[in-house]
Amino acid sequence: MSSWLRSDINAMAAGQGMDLLTFVLVPLAAAMLVRTAVYFLGAAVPVSRVQVWFARAAAAMPGIVFLGLGPTVFRSAHARPGPMLLCILHCYGLFAVFAGVLLSRMFAFGRQFASCQRLLEITEAPSERNAKLATELGIRLRVLPSQFSVCVVTGIWKPVVVISRGTLESLSWEELRAALMHERAHCRGRETCWAAGLWFLSGATFAPVRSAFDAYKRASEFAADGEAIREVCSVTLASALVAVARSRRDRPLLAGLASRENLRERVALLVGAEDPKKACRGAGVLISVALAAAATLPLVGGIARNFVHVFCR
């Protein structure tokens, strides 16, 4: 074994590689904990607002944990552990990976944002009748001149409901009203803003948990359905979902009316063919414990460093 590799291993054993270990192991441990939370979230039909908040916390956690390692990364960039390999990894490696992950996520976010803006630019004002309905519901409505089936909310700060001509033609007046009620729930809940932030955070790590963002989208759809059916017939909303879901293109920053992944589940719930299965209290506790444990992970580096300092020197 070459002498420099041996000196690297000795330095690791003496606790000099703690930052490196923390940087690799903490995001992986967070991903495992978030996966556990998402598993329990998936076991229930998320009809309550608490479950939506759990789903938001789970989606945000991978990014929060990764960003929480920022101080560790900057500290290691200034540290000069003696041996060569350890020094290169510490001083440049961690910073390069950290900055690379954040920059690539920001770039992807910019592309998604631009595609949403382009969608808005090609929309038109709605007809007088539809504009009157939008005013009555308190939403901003734009019409996409396309026969594709589109019914989404876009616009991060000022949510706008975009509906295509094809969708307007395929829905009855009552179905359109039900669809817009669902979209209004997304606008009121500021779901496009949440979706943008959570989409960024869910992937701002080298160990992303894609199912966590999907769980949040699923929960927000159920919550919007629940809010809509307080004022419209649930069967009418179910038929609007089926009509819109025929050909829909998904975009992470858009809150759409219908997604094929959970369509069957939502329609069954709306027409009363399925009872809402509430997450049992034990599952809520497990989700909370998993997320709280993940949230404290960025502190692990400091604790491990102190532990090594006290007991290994």
Q: Which residues sit at the interface with Zn ion, rule CB under 5 A?
A: 221, 224
| Rounded least distance, CB 141 to Zn ion, Å | 15
Nearer to Zn ion, 90 or 177 (CB): 177
Find how far residue 135's CA is from the centre of its chain. 30
Nearer to Zn ion, 101 or 219 (CB): 219
| Distance of alpha carbon 59 from alpha carbon 34, whole angstroms | 8
Nearer to Zn ion, 175 or 221 (CB): 221
Nearer to Zn ion, 19 or 221 (CB): 221
Residues 199/270/154/251 CA torsion (nearest 10 deg): 50
| Rounded least distance, CB 185 to Zn ion, Å | 8
| Rounded least distance, CB 255 to Zn ion, Å | 5
| Rounded least distance, CB 186 to Zn ion, Å | 5
Max Cα separation, the chain? 80
| Rounded least distance, CB 29 to Zn ion, Å | 33
| Rounded least distance, CB 256 to Zn ion, Å | 5
Contact 80, 1 (CB under 8 A): no
Nearer to Zn ion, 212 or 224 (CB): 224
| Rounded least distance, CB 290 to Zn ion, Å | 27
Nearer to Zn ion, 254 or 294 (CB): 254
Token pair belonging to 312: 């290994």
| Rounded least distance, CB 228 to Zn ion, Å | 9
Residues 228/231/234/240 CA torsion (nearest 10 deg): -60
Nearer to Zn ion, 52 or 297 (CB): 52
Contact 70, 77 (CB under 8 A): no
Nearer to Zn ion, 81 or 189 (CB): 189
Quickly tell me which residue has 């069967």 as its tokens.
Answer: 235
